[in-house]
Structure 1
Amino acid sequence: MTIPKNSSGTWRKRRYQRIEIFDLEVLVLAAESGSFRGVSAQVGVGQPAVTRRIQKLEDTFGVSLFERSPTGVRLTNAGWRFLCRVRRILSELKLAIADVETAGVGGNGEINFGLTDSLSNGLFHQILSEFFDNHPEVQPNFVQADLGELETLLNHRMIDILYGPVNTSFTDSDILPVANQQIYLAVSHNNGLAARQWVSWADVAGLVLMVGTEDPGPVFETYVRPGFRKHHDGIKVKRHNLDRKGILNLVEMNLGSTLIWEDPRRIGHNDLIYIPVLEAGVAQRIQYSLKWHAKNDNPALRRFISLARIKAKKNGALS
């Protein structure tokens, strides 16, 4: 066989383009039945058409795939090696087709979530539970990071959706307000503020707040620090290389206090006092929202967002 003088890569590309999926399916059936006549009966075409399919493959590769005899056909060594790989290719192709077909009806999909906080956040926790109870075929994947990192992951489509205290939207993204989380001051029973029914930002400004590695910095910058600035006080923060549980343990020992914006009932630390933060009688809250790319056509994600809209509206987050 003479290879044309132009690029051998181009020549290979052209000859491979001649191969059709049906050619490979005929090859598999011929190997299983041991005769071209048997394939003809299974697929409903004439035996000459089956023979031409096999011959096309053999001419394309320049090798014989079957040994012919009056009693039938048998794979050559090259034919056997090719068949083993073809079976895997066809199997993967069938799975890929099934995935695409079922994805449109809420089938085998996945949603990649980005979180700034733990999953103890009340309404979001409920939305997740209900969605995956109703769609067990959808695979959830979670990553927890600060808001800036999650914005980057979302922008590069490494996650489908993020949940956190977002209040701005970049181009081609949508935001759904889900919940307004009450801000609480967490103190020990021995703290001087433990008996208070509520505290103001002026009260909090006189304390040393402890934060850990899981506390999202942008939350303080967006929501907490302005509260202190109203009183011309500087925020006093002591950062420890501890997770949220470790920080709460320090609070229990009366080594300081901390702010939380989760449902205290879900935190699981019942030995502390959680005091609402109010300003001029108004509860201080942090708005938590879902954020995703408007052009993300993940069917599972769209169903999740639909449920979230319903829940957010019932919760009063949407007007």
Structure 2
Amino acid sequence: MKIGLRHIRYFIAVADELHFRRAAVQLGVAQPALSRAIQHLEQELEVVLFDRSNRNVRITDAGRRFLDGCKGIMNSVEHTIEDARRVHHGQIGNLRIGYTDMAIAGVLPTLLKAFQVQEPRIVLQPHHDVTSRQLQKLDEGVLDIGCVTGPINRSGFEQLPIQSEKLICVVYESHRLADRRSIHLEELAHEDFVHGPTKDWEHFYSYLIPLCRKSGFIPSIVQEAYNSAGILGLVACGMGVTVLTESSRKTLPNGLVPLELDGVTERLQTVALWKTDTMTGSKSLFIDYLCRKSREDGGVS
């Protein structure tokens, strides 16, 4: 059957106007060409769509039924075209975003929520993982953007700081230091520490270990847990102390006490990280959004 969108557009115009000349003017075509197109359509369908007379044009019952379907077709085509344009501009699609414990406990939820309001047709797919594994997944194309402990110096990647946090110490409530509001890092020299595995937490350790060395000791890590929740749970069991970022205050289990670290000015930075050779529309939109938020907020603090 040789029917195209042109025939459907022509038919809808005549059905709306019930006048071939006015429909031809609306469409910007010659009236004879319009009449031939409608005749061809009727021949292909083997139905009469319009009753014609010298004075008027009347749509038939078959024509009315056909009109309902044609309007649905044109609406579907218009939506499909608009969706294709939105995909091209990144306004429809999926965005796979990695995050660390520090990122999700800090500013990231607010950023994602505001972006979702701005771009509701982009599906956000957050994935929790440590920095080292996020870097691997970014290399493999499993993630679009990572929110990792930075800064990261890697060829082919760009980054944007999204969060900067102080470090704090966390002890259990019966610990000898629990009645203090703040301590110096060197006071932890002989303490047992609870932390993440060295391989998985290497980027966090790039902050912690140099700080401890400056204070004259290397932390003795006696227990390990994969994430911050596990670390804090072990500290609550009295198995040691830990040093984490200030965002961990929000999720402290009962029986734990946060302590400020006097004299420690270094701040742990979380950065959004992405590969520059795999830019999609939705990824570009999210990066533009992060850059705009950074300018509006005056950067991270």
What TM-score, normalized to structure 1? 0.64
Q: Which of 229, 236, 245 is equivalent to 1:252?
A: 236
Which of 190, 193, 208 is the matching residue for 1:208? 193
In the superposition, relative to structure 1, how do residues 207 and 111 fare at CA in structure 2: closer, same or farther (>3 Å)?
same
What is the CA deviation profile of residues 188-227 of structure 1, one whole-angstrom value per residue up to 9, with x for unaligned ones?
1111232452242672564131449xx9523344223445
Q: In structure 2, do the counterparts of structure 1 residues 208 and 173 end up closer, same or farther at CA, with 3 Å as the change threshold?
A: closer
1:67 to 43, 47, 72: 47
- The structure 2 residue matched to 1:198, chosen from 183, 186, 202, is 183
- Tell me the CA shift for residue 111 of structure 1: 5.5
Matched to 2:118, the amino acid is: H
1:119 to 2:104 alignment: yes
Tell me how many residue pairs correspond in the alignment.
282
Residue pairs, 1:54-133, within 5 angstroms: 64-68=44-48, 71=52, 86-87=73-74, 89-96=76-83, 99=86, 112-117=96-101, 119-121=104-106, 123-124=107-108, 127=111, 131-132=114-115
> What whole-Å deviation, never above 9, does each CA across 1:33-72 have from its counterpart, x for those lacking one?
69893854652433432355568889xxxx9235347546
Distance 2:209 2:168 in 1: 15
The one-letter code sitting in structure 2 at the alignment partner of 1:288 is T
Q: Deviations over 1:113-155 (max 9, x none)?
A: 321125321x5556556x4598375756222222233334445
Q: 1:282 to 1:249 in 2, by over 3 A?
A: closer
Match of 2:224 in 1: 239
Question: Could you tell me how far apart the structure 2 residues matched to 1:43 and 1:26 are?
Answer: 7
Distance 1:177 1:246, change over 3 A: closer
**1:26 alignment counterpart:** 10
> Aligned with 2:162: secondary structure?
strand
Tell me which amino acid in the other structure corresponds to 1:168.
I
Q: How much identity, in percent, do the aligned residues show?
A: 19
Structure 1 gaps of 5+ residues are 1-14
Asked if residue 177 in structure 1 is aligned to residue 173 in structure 2, the reply is no
Which runs of 5 or more residues in structure 2 are unaligned? 53-58
Q: Does 1:307 align with 2:297?
A: no
| Residue 288 in structure 1 maps to residue 270 in structure 2 | yes
- Give the Cα–Cα distance (whole angstroms) in 2 for the partners of residues 57 and 237 of structure 1: 82
TM-score, with length taken from structure 2: 0.66
4+ residue segments displaced more than 6 Å: 54-58, 72-76, 107-110
Q: Secondary structure at the match of 2:98?
A: strand
State the 1:158 CA deviation.
Answer: 5.3
Structure 2 equivalent of residue 4 of structure 1: none
Are the structure 2 counterparts of residues 49 and 135 from structure 1 closer, same or farther at C-alpha, using a change threshold of 3 Å?
same
Name the SS for the 1:254 alignment partner.
Answer: coil
**Aligned twin of 1:267:** 251
Structure 1 vs Structure 2 CA RMSD: 4.7
